[in-house]
Structure 1
């Protein structure tokens, strides 16, 4: 038994080596992260089936409870059994990818073991299928939030699966149960221990590697936030030579790629890094790769020098990612990340490039919106809130950065909410009316960011009547009322602060009401709100006035803005506007 234990350790070591290689291959990581798609499941089934077949070939031949020296086991003689790590491969496939993949691997591995031969080998097919499906079901039960079971949990599943296999061997692998029992007594202990240990190590390697990648992503997200904050002032100028040169320098500093290039729709605006001797600003776009991206508007990744299409024979650039930049769904230029060593272009860089393309497109769009807003009157700029509040933006970035180490999932969620908030500001600057559903999404993004900064400071309860979100409202109508309540209603009070948002239709009107349990409004100010600026320590007091004026300009006497103190504590702000469906008006300015 000791000799069998040692030989089995060698086989488990081979499987663990293969596991280590696989989890360090970017392609395999992609499959693991997208393991719920049928295409990924099919590929994972093939990979783990190869593991299981290798286990069959490299098994230890046993006859009459004696180890028979052998090499690659292709055809087995009668009355011969093998000890192997097939159950380890099947069990891990189920734990990692679910019962479908586990069952597929079980079918293939069991069929291959049957083809290898020896008496009574048919039972390996149903036993392998059962092991695959059962391990997948247990693994799915123990999986939380898309993660994998812990190594300890996986080891217990591995031990159970090997025990199931031993039961089949005892019942079916011989002329009698006694013969099967004799074989199991010889192989069971080392196979259960080592296959369980192998499962533990496999999952340890897998989870540790993915955790390290998650940590790297968290650090990268933090860097991206800093990069976005650094480039925002320049992209707000628009996409031109001055802004592009500054931005290229900043991006190259944060990403450490070999070169960064920015173009508009026809010429190079900036090139910083390797190849700057011939990728010269003010020249026409010189690479075929960039021209193709400008033409089709799709991100392009190449890993070979000839695919870049640079006409200079001494160009040091060997790989590139070219990201199209869009404004209002129209391509306006490209961001190019170049590498002098093609091996530096990894999956992480690809994800980074896609994220930067989205952020920079939003920033350029923001810049164009601000340029347009400067052509409007001061009151219109304030009422539409065309410009993103820099103080709010940097507070949000600092909040998200602080969450990187503590809760990376929440940080990523808030980053998406910040993107939603950006998009809402851009759309609000170009539209006079938007669907209520869009306004509520903007409010949700705003509240998520504010409540992350001040957890448990206040609560906002929504009561939205069914089937009204397709009606239109002025941009920021709900947000301004909620923001005003949060800033002014509760004073310095840090608890028991509640706001209640109620939106419903009444006859042919849409009623938007925001109430609070705050301190109430002094009577001398109550008459001023919505009619003239009311200054305070926390603002200029123009937001409510501008909202009221905008309502009057849009709807005339059909709209109203009312403020009153509640009979108990707090105050209630109410907007009344006519019911207008989104498809019934042209919402663009």
Structure 2
């Protein structure tokens, strides 16, 4: 039967549809946000026009008078016509590419059909051009509204083939012969061309959806890996962090090995052949240096891996750049057995990973720069001596030179010790409580001399606690706060009580004064709002609160209690080394 023969031709249609999906420029037909260039339109017009010609040549020659069929087309005599799928290629071209591609493909396939001859030459040629025009107009409208569905292709394919039958009846001569032909070929051609158009679109959509699913899976896997590697890359790209990242990627991919490098050294190699592809070695492959210089990902085969080991199983690799602000700082390599395993999904995964790693490293670099800036600011504040304190101290010493030279000499030594310890602590991340107490005593000897009997200082310090460490000037900041804000206007009986005591698992540190105190509004916002200190080091309670929480593991920072009878500020530090406090011998 004719319809069976025509349906057999759909296998050719399916093969062509699948092959076309392999071309990237063809896929742009389904990306409705992408503008095609004139060159791309011309190429696609020629492709769909050629598709129409193939549909003609794979058609079946029909002679309605002799009731014969010829399986492959050739030049026709006046009594012959072709049952074919020519309209299918033109219709699909118009639906996918719009008016210009559909009309152009119709002209190419229609003119070709005209020159094959036969009594339907003119009718079929005109009908093919009309099919391209109609499908192109519909395609241009649909491209702006919705995605093309197989049902749309089925309807348009059926409609245009029906129009061709009508044109044959109107144009072909003799009319009686045209009627006989249409009766024989109408149902088979309408059915097969309608189904063929839908099948063509269905195949393309199915392949593209599989590609999208592959990309989505790759993106999801990249996100999962990137999420698990975030903590490792937070501190930057090092031998240790690269090792952890490579282990995670290796465990979640079907790769032979995973490697990372910086600009000149292999940072890590996890998986097969790690016995001779070792971390710490200089970069060996020219391809890796090429990626670092160009910033472009490449795929390489066994000959380009340049492994001198005779039995090395690494047969191919993807090498991708890791960039920070368009500057290549590292590479990621995924090794497989051979180049056939460098699949699009693996390439998508590597691209996603390197992009995310670049963002993570960029954030890490920004964090480090911010920390350096903060640390530099804090150390600069620590190193400076408040000019008011220095002037007051010098005035006190000058006044004592004549009345009490020995006291003046002692205060001068204390001032020198204070300045020296202040400068030395500015270069230290942590200082012992012993060093901090010595700094406080040097400071208080000068302040007590200036204030006389108005203020007294009381110490309650457990000697066993002095080997533990704290951020420099932590207690001094609290003492200065008591002097400058709590006791500034006290005329007599002022008191500062410094306590450092052992509470089994923690060291409790507090500074209490009997000054004027502060209201609840001030107390509740003092540690949540950044208020620079007007005097002293300028570090302020807010900054000290943040430093304690950040530098001391499990620290809650400062706690403030205040009333009309004075103010107490205290904090805790854990004693165990595992809890983040450094001990010194």
TM-score by length of 2: 0.60
C-alpha distance in 1, partners of 2:293/2:376? 40
Relative to structure 1, the CA distance from residue 200 to residue 5 in structure 2 (aligned partners, 3 Å threshold; closer, same or farther) is: same
Show the counterpart of 2:321.
324
How big is each residue's C-alpha offset from its partner over 1:117-170, in whole Å with a ceiling of 9 and x where there is no partner? 33452454443233223213323433477x632222221111111122223222
* Match runs of 1:95-494 below 5 Å: 95-119=95-119, 121-143=121-143, 148-176=147-175, 178-302=176-300, 304-312=301-309, 314-377=311-374
C-alpha distance in 1, partners of 2:153/2:194? 8
Relative to structure 1, the CA distance from residue 287 to residue 271 in structure 2 (aligned partners, 3 Å threshold; closer, same or farther) is: same
Does structure 2 retain, via aligned residues, the 8 Å contact 1:300–1:322?
Answer: yes
C-alpha distance in 1, partners of 2:77/2:377? 89
Does structure 2 retain, via aligned residues, the 8 Å contact 1:170–1:183?
Answer: no
Deviation at 1:279, TM superposition (A): 2.3
Does structure 2 retain, via aligned residues, the 8 Å contact 1:259–1:337?
Answer: yes
Relative to structure 1, the CA distance from residue 272 to residue 121 in structure 2 (aligned partners, 3 Å threshold; closer, same or farther) is: same
| 2:86 corresponds to 1:89 | no
C-alpha distance in 1, partners of 2:372/2:3? 81
C-alpha distance in 1, partners of 2:43/2:311? 41
Relative to structure 1, the CA distance from residue 183 to residue 257 in structure 2 (aligned partners, 3 Å threshold; closer, same or farther) is: same
Secondary structure at the aligned position of 2:372 is classed as coil
C-alpha distance in 1, partners of 2:298/2:372? 37
Secondary structure at the aligned position of 1:374 is classed as helix
Does structure 1 retain, via aligned residues, the 8 Å contact 2:295–2:328?
Answer: yes
Does structure 2 retain, via aligned residues, the 8 Å contact 1:139–1:154?
Answer: no
| 2:53 corresponds to 1:53 | yes
Does structure 2 retain, via aligned residues, the 8 Å contact 1:287–1:311?
Answer: no
Deviation at 1:247, TM superposition (A): 0.6
Deviation at 1:260, TM superposition (A): 1.6
C-alpha distance in 2, partners of 1:40/1:274? 45
Secondary structure at the aligned position of 2:270 is classed as strand
C-alpha distance in 2, partners of 1:7/1:284? 65
Number of equivalences: 389
C-alpha distance in 1, partners of 2:129/2:309? 58
Deviation at 1:189, TM superposition (A): 1.7
Secondary structure at the aligned position of 1:322 is classed as strand
C-alpha distance in 1, partners of 2:79/2:377? 90
Secondary structure at the aligned position of 1:375 is classed as helix
C-alpha distance in 1, partners of 2:227/2:335? 23
Does structure 2 retain, via aligned residues, the 8 Å contact 1:114–1:121?
Answer: yes
Secondary structure at the aligned position of 2:56 is classed as helix
Does structure 2 retain, via aligned residues, the 8 Å contact 1:26–1:347?
Answer: no
Deviation at 1:227, TM superposition (A): 1.2
Deviation at 1:172, TM superposition (A): 2.5
C-alpha distance in 2, partners of 1:180/1:187? 10
Does structure 2 retain, via aligned residues, the 8 Å contact 1:324–1:331?
Answer: yes
Superposition RMSD on alpha carbons, in Å?
3.2
C-alpha distance in 2, partners of 1:377/1:125? 79
Deviation at 1:67, TM superposition (A): 4.7
Question: Which of 9, 14, 17 pairs up with 1:16?
Answer: 14
Relative to structure 1, the CA distance from residue 238 to residue 67 in structure 2 (aligned partners, 3 Å threshold; closer, same or farther) is: farther
Relative to structure 1, the CA distance from residue 41 to residue 357 in structure 2 (aligned partners, 3 Å threshold; closer, same or farther) is: farther
Does structure 1 retain, via aligned residues, the 8 Å contact 2:246–2:258?
Answer: yes
Deviation at 1:61, TM superposition (A): 0.5
Mark the runs of 5 or more structure 2 residues left unpaired by the alignment.
379-518, 533-585
Considering only CA atoms, is the larger Rg found in Structure 1 or Structure 2?
Answer: 2
